[in-house]
Amino acid sequence: TSEQIEHLHRRFKQLSQDQLTIRKENFDSIPDLEFNPIRGKIVHAFFDKRNLRQEPDGLAEEITFEDFLTIMSYFRPIEMNMDEEQLDRLRKEKLKFLFHMYDSDHDGKITLQEYRNVVEELLSGNPHLEKESARSIADGAMMEAASICVGQMGPDQVYEGITFEDFLKMWQGIDIETKMHVRFLNVDTIAHCY
Amino acid sequence: SVSSIVPESCLLIVVGLLVGGLIKGVGEKPPILKSDIFFLFLLPPIILDAGYFLPLRPFTENLGTILIFAVVGTLWNAFFLGGLMYAVCQLGGPGLNHIGLLANLLFGSIISAVDPVAVLAVFEEIHINELLHILVFGESLLNDAVTVVLYHLFEEFASFEQVTILDIILGFLSFFVVSLGGVLVGVIYGVIAAFTSRFTSHIRVIEPLFVFLYSYMAYLSAELFHLSGIMALIAAGVVMRPYVEANISHKSHTTIKYFLKMWSSVSETLIFIFLGVSTVAGHHYWNWTFVISTLFFCLIARVLGVLVLTWFINKFRIVKLTPKDQFIIAYGGLRGAIAFSLGYLLDYEHFDMRDMFLTAIITVIFFTVFVQGMTIRPLVDLLAVKKKQETKRSINEEIHTQFLDHLLTGIEDICGHYGHHHWKDKLNRFNKKYVKKCLIAGERSKEPQLIAFYHKMEMKQAIELVESGGIGKIPSAVSTVSIQNINPQTLPLERVLPALSKDKEEEIRKILRTNLQKTRQRLRSYNRHTLVADPYEEAWNQMLLRRQKARQLEQKMNNYLTVPAHRVDSPTMSRARIGSDPLAYEPKEDSENLPIITIDPASPQSPESVDLMSEEPKGCSGLPPSPEEDEEGLVMRVKEPSSPGTDDVFTPGTSDSPSNQRMLRCLSDPGPRPEPEEGEPFIPKGQ
């Protein structure tokens, strides 16, 4: 609905201090984001070109309101009248967004190091932890992922990293489309934009 | 087979009928389900079991829906039914004419509440998906407040001459008092219980008792003041659980779990049997019109209520409820023993049609339990309702869920929208900062959820491994993916090692051996004040300790040598390390119970888990009291000192087994001669 776009537009203006584009620094002005352990990744995701559907790689310097809306559209909730294909597409889109957040070096795979980064960041809110526990959790998770995706592996094979297909497999049990949404975004914002 | 068609509750009622019939046939008076016994002894265990193990996440996510169903739905049911029954009574001829509006409303309020016992009994067996389960079940739990208020209200009004508007408003207010008061009582007791459990580290044996006692007291206190006892019980269970579980020992946790399940099982069985017996034994007054119309209108009221409410609720829900869901929710509105007991409580003085009410109640109960209970399973299959997914919680899922939570909170913050995630995050932070510090003992208060989850999983895996017959056998469910697969390191071909002379090696072995023998010979006390380590645990502890040591020594070695850590290593290297650093190992005389192989505290990686392995940490001298994270990183913080298998150096894989097998063999060998393979060079073979 148009009020929601209004609201987002106002917010955008607030963040960008009345300029046309937002840069990374503007995000620092949000106080609550301080507490968020993965704020780096979130902010990064806004500028990730892959999410902005512009190029397969790279980082944008600044984003416009349309880009802002593009990112927000990933958090659309599902509608009752969507058919299977649309649902599947939406699901894939959301998962791709998540995937890009994990895959920080843009090579299409989540390697062990990247996964470790993710876990470390998740636990970074807690100053008493040392790196080793994060590492072992990440290792454990990686091994689980490998065993889900590839099954039995001999001792010589090396599992490169989680590709997007494997990622999809891992998320199969969880209904991402029901979980990954922000409550008030229930319209196809992109369509209204252009 | 019979059990797949007929749900257990039906069979139990039939058994009750038979038993009742038998007793009556003999000429004795069969016992009836007295309300006292029901409300004081039979109901609380079931509710506590439900509340303590309530899956909190889906519950809170759907809380709005559940509340609307529970409150508005029950109100609608009660009034609709009461009103219609009044109409029927007026039209029903001479036998029914004298039943007033209030009596009918009271009857409506008794019979309209969905019963948690019946719902549990039936839904447990059909394994529908989590959402539906929690919706119906949550509704059955939370509607107790409404039922209590309505019941007492109408009961009192029936003795009034006149009912004024003031009374009605007061009644409305009393609903809030009853429900919120019940929750408050429950929360208070829950917090007290959590606080108590913080100090129970020395009296592990009676930890479960606190949980049960405080919960029961919460229930009784609430019932005392005519507040909703069920809500108090649920609130207490929900509040105390995360803190108590962090504080108590693993064994106590198991005890609580099994006792609760046992008691609730027994209660449930007894309730249904008694229902059957009471049917046979009670005085009945069968009035066709009344009973049939009750039944009919019950169903209609339920269906209508669900439909209307869902239409309303779906406007606010993201995940809408489909018609299939609605059907199951409507169909799952089973009535049970609570209705019967409430009806039984009515006294003859004011309600001379009590028998008729009771008959009608029993008929409705029978109908819902038998007909609906039996047919719901084939209906679920027929309608292809989504079933419960039997996935085990995996680390990945946990990570992703947390990640997603933070992500959504972040997005909400960016949008400036104070949505659910925002508040949930705030609550979590508040919890972490203040509450956990008070209620959880010691270091565990700082443990983030992910770590706790990981530890739980590790422990489970460890226990599985032990049960599958020791380290020799690899459970086939575990895939052969090992650390090598995901993190291939170049194998270090050679390492520079401090050379070990033969007799130093001999010395090491002797020390190890003597200490191990000492631990085996240790006497076990049979005093119940000290938990006893049985030999199985002992062997397990020893094995884990050895692994632990091996890892640390390897760690030290790695630090020394600045070679990239290769996780799987040969035991010979580890032992070499022992020898070269004489301070590193020092057998300690230990206090009574558990075998401990201690390592000098001077070493930087003292295993705090070893510390925690002992029953009395103060008894074992020399270990650093404050656990700090081992650099190895795979060391678990243990919940409780004396439980087995808590020390852990597992990688979640089986790559350790060969090396540890060798290690065990070497170390447990009491022979004086060096075994041929110990002559193995201190050139480590990579795994």
Same domain, B435 and B307: no
Q: Is the pLDDT of residue B116 over 70?
A: yes
The whole-angstrom separation of Cα B647 and Cα B305 is 54
Same domain, B262 and B293: yes
> Nearest 5°: CA angle at B592, between B587 and B595?
45
The whole-angstrom separation of Cα B415 and Cα A10 is 10
Which of B320, B411, B651 has the CB atom closest to A182's CB atom? B411
Same domain, B37 and B9: yes
Q: Is B414 on the interface with A (CB under 8 A)?
A: yes
Same domain, B107 and B163: yes
Helix B250-281 / helix B8-26 crossing angle, nearest 10 deg: 50
**What's phi and psi for B585, nearest 5 deg?**
-135, 135
B477 band by pLDDT with thresholds 50, 70 and 90: very low
Going by C-alpha positions, the residue among B365, B317, B316 that lies closest to residue B341 is B365
The whole-angstrom separation of Cα B566 and Cα B551 is 11
Domain range holding B347? Answer: 2-383
B215 band by pLDDT with thresholds 50, 70 and 90: very high
Domain range holding A35? Answer: 2-178
Stretch B79-84: mean pLDDT: 88
Q: Check CB contact under 8 Å for B403 and A11.
A: no
Stretch A137-165: mean pLDDT: 66
Helix, strand or coil for residue A63?
strand
Going by C-alpha positions, the residue among B97, B77, B188 that lies closest to residue B139 is B77
Same domain, B428 and B318: no
In a domain, A186, yes or no: no
A97 band by pLDDT with thresholds 50, 70 and 90: confident
Q: Where does B487-531 have alpha helices with state H?
A: 502-521
The whole-angstrom separation of Cα B235 and Cα B244 is 14
The answer to whether residues B524 and B532 touch, using CB atoms and an 8 Å cutoff, is yes
Which of B98-107, B245-254, B266-275, B427-436 has the lowest average pLDDT? B427-436
In a domain, B331, yes or no: yes
Same domain, B350 and B410: no
Same domain, B420 and B330: no
How many domains does one find in chain B?
2
Same domain, B419 and B307: no
Same domain, B441 and B376: no
- Residues in chain A, how many? 194
The whole-angstrom separation of Cα B38 and Cα B152 is 18
- Provide the phi-psi class of B172: left if phi over 0, else alpha when psi is between -120 and 50, else beta: alpha
Average pLDDT, chain B: 70
Q: Is the pLDDT of residue B187 over 90?
A: yes
List the CATH number of the domain containing B104: 1.20.1530.10
In a domain, B558, yes or no: no
Segment holding B76, helix H or strand E: helix B74-91
Which of A33, A123, A183 has the CB atom closest to B410's CB atom? A33
Residues of B in contact with A91 (CB under 8 A): none
Return the pLDDT at A111: 73
In a domain, A194, yes or no: no
Contacts 24+ apart (CB under 8 A), A81-89: A87/A177
In a domain, B550, yes or no: no
Q: Is the pLDDT of residue B156 over 70?
A: yes
Q: Is the pLDDT of residue B623 over 50?
A: no
In a domain, A34, yes or no: yes
Residue after which a domain boundary falls, among B383, B411, B437: B383
Residue scoring higher pLDDT (A27 or B606):
A27
CA distance B479 to chain A (A): 5
The whole-angstrom separation of Cα B633 and Cα B578 is 21
The answer to whether residues A179 and B404 touch, using CB atoms and an 8 Å cutoff, is yes
pLDDT in tens, A60-81: 666 677 777 777 777 666 665 6
Q: Is the pLDDT of residue A106 over 90?
A: no
Q: Where does chain A have alpha helices with state H?
A: 2-16, 39-47, 65-73, 84-102, 112-122, 131-149, 164-170, 176-179, 189-193
Strand partners, A63: A22
Which of A107-121, A136-150, B461-475, B481-495 has the lowest average pLDDT? B481-495
In a domain, B391, yes or no: no
Helix, strand or coil for residue B681?
coil
The whole-angstrom separation of Cα B377 and Cα B381 is 6
pLDDT in tens, B32-50: 777 788 888 888 999 888 8
Q: Please give, one letter per residue, the 3-state secondary structure of B591-615.
A: CCCCCCCCECCCCCCCCHHHHHHCC
Q: Check CB contact under 8 Å for A182 and B415.
A: yes
Same domain, B301 and B180: yes
Same domain, B183 and B71: yes
Give the CA radius of gyration of chain A: 18
Q: What is the dihedral of CA B529, B530, B536, B537, to 10 degrees?
A: 130
Instruction: Return the DSSP state at A33.
Output: G
State in Å, rounded, how far the first CA of chain A is from the last one: 14
How many domains does one find in chain A?
1
The whole-angstrom separation of Cα B183 and Cα B136 is 20
Q: How many CB atoms lie within 10 A of CB A62?
A: 14
Residues of A in contact with B431 (CB under 8 A): none
Return the pLDDT at B415: 67
**What's phi and psi for B97, nearest 5 deg?**
-60, -30
Same domain, B41 and B83: yes
Q: Is A82 on the interface with B (CB under 8 A)?
A: no
Going by C-alpha positions, the residue among B126, B144, B124 that lies closest to residue B53 is B124
Going by C-alpha positions, the residue among B565, B555, B544 that lies closest to residue B667 is B544
Return the pLDDT at B252: 85
Q: Is A77 on the interface with B (CB under 8 A)?
A: yes
Residue after which a domain boundary falls, among B456, B481, B500: B456
Q: How many CB atoms lie within 10 A of CB B523?
A: 7
Q: Check CB contact under 8 Å for A155 and B632.
A: no
Six-digit token string for B420: 């659910």
Helix B288-313 / helix B323-331 crossing angle, nearest 10 deg: 150
The whole-angstrom separation of Cα B95 and Cα B97 is 6
Q: Is B660 on the interface with A (CB under 8 A)?
A: no
Stretch A33-38: mean pLDDT: 68
CA distance A56 to chain B (A): 22
The whole-angstrom separation of Cα B221 and Cα B187 is 12
Q: Is A181 on the interface with B (CB under 8 A)?
A: yes
Going by C-alpha positions, the residue among B243, B244, B222 that lies closest to residue B232 is B222
In a domain, B585, yes or no: no
The whole-angstrom separation of Cα B491 and Cα B488 is 9
Q: Check CB contact under 8 Å for A157 and B485.
A: yes
Q: Check CB contact under 8 Å for B409 and A174.
A: no
The whole-angstrom separation of Cα B347 and Cα B158 is 12
Contacts 24+ apart (CB under 8 A), B458-464: B458/B636, B458/B648, B458/B650, B458/B652, B459/B250, B459/B636, B459/B645, B459/B646, B459/B648, B461/B650, B461/B652, B462/B645, B462/B648, B462/B650, B463/B645
List the CATH number of the domain containing A103: 1.10.238.10
Six-digit token string for B133: 């389960």
Helix B116-126 / helix B337-345 crossing angle, nearest 10 deg: 170
Return the pLDDT at B507: 64
Q: Check CB contact under 8 Å for A183 and B419.
A: yes
The whole-angstrom separation of Cα B464 and Cα B475 is 8
> Which residue is listed with tokens 């008030």?
A184
Dmax over CA atoms of chain A, in Å, equals: 58
Q: What is the dihedral of CA B529, B535, B537, B543, to 10 degrees?
A: 140
The answer to whether residues B131 and B329 touch, using CB atoms and an 8 Å cutoff, is no
Q: Is the pLDDT of residue B206 over 70?
A: yes
**For B314, which residue in chain A has the nearest alpha carbon?**
A80
In a domain, B353, yes or no: yes
The answer to whether residues B186 and B231 touch, using CB atoms and an 8 Å cutoff, is yes
Q: Is the pLDDT of residue A152 over 70?
A: no
> Which residue is listed with tokens 């040392």?
A130
Residue after which a domain boundary falls, among B421, B437, B456: B456
Six-digit token string for A30: 């949000």
In a domain, A188, yes or no: no
Q: Is the pLDDT of residue B56 over 90?
A: no
Interface pTM, i.e. ipTM: 0.80
Q: Which amino acid is at B492?
A: P
Return the pLDDT at A124: 67
Q: Is the pLDDT of residue A30 over 80?
A: no
Stretch A153-160: mean pLDDT: 58
Q: How many CB atoms lie within 10 A of CB B401?
A: 15
Segment holding B22, helix H or strand E: helix B8-26
In a domain, B216, yes or no: yes
The whole-angstrom separation of Cα A144 and Cα B257 is 28
Residue scoring higher pLDDT (B150 or A16):
B150
